[in-house]
Amino acid sequence: VAEWIERQQSRNKFYYYHQQFRRVPDLSECVEGDHLCYFEAEAQWRRDRMVDQEIMGIVRERLSACQYREGPNHLQNCAKEMEQLLQVTKAYQDKYGDLGVHGNSRTCLMKQKHMMMEERKAQENA
């Protein structure tokens, strides 16, 4: 019986860590009242946010490894990693900052819209 189970499992291998989701339309592309599209856009936004958090964590780990490796000379030798962390952190803060724990795709979209309006207003005044 155990051999039969092993044969069945070897035929149907499931690699859960390679799961790929198709890209869905953004919330701004959804038709009004299409709740399924809203739900898919929200799920896509949550996945993108988790990916961005992981990217920040990886860059932060690289910087701390460089600091540990270089010791007292880390200010000179880890400048590239420090700059990369600053860029990634700024991009994350621009996109997701001030949304709080209960942030969602709609509030993120509104935040980006208000940022664009402020930039246009600043360009007109300059």
Confidence of residue 37 (pLDDT cuts 50, 70, 90): very high
> Does position 67 have pLDDT exceeding 70, yes or no?
yes
Which tokens sit at 63?
């910087």
Task: Give the rounded percent of residues in the chain with a pLDDT score beyond 70.
Answer: 94
Q: Are 39 and 30 in contact (CB under 8 A)?
A: no
Average pLDDT over residues 118-122: 94
pTM: 0.75
DSSP output for 69-111: HHGGGHHHHTHHHHHHHHHHHHHHHHHHTT--TT--HHHHHHH
Average pLDDT over residues 37-64: 94
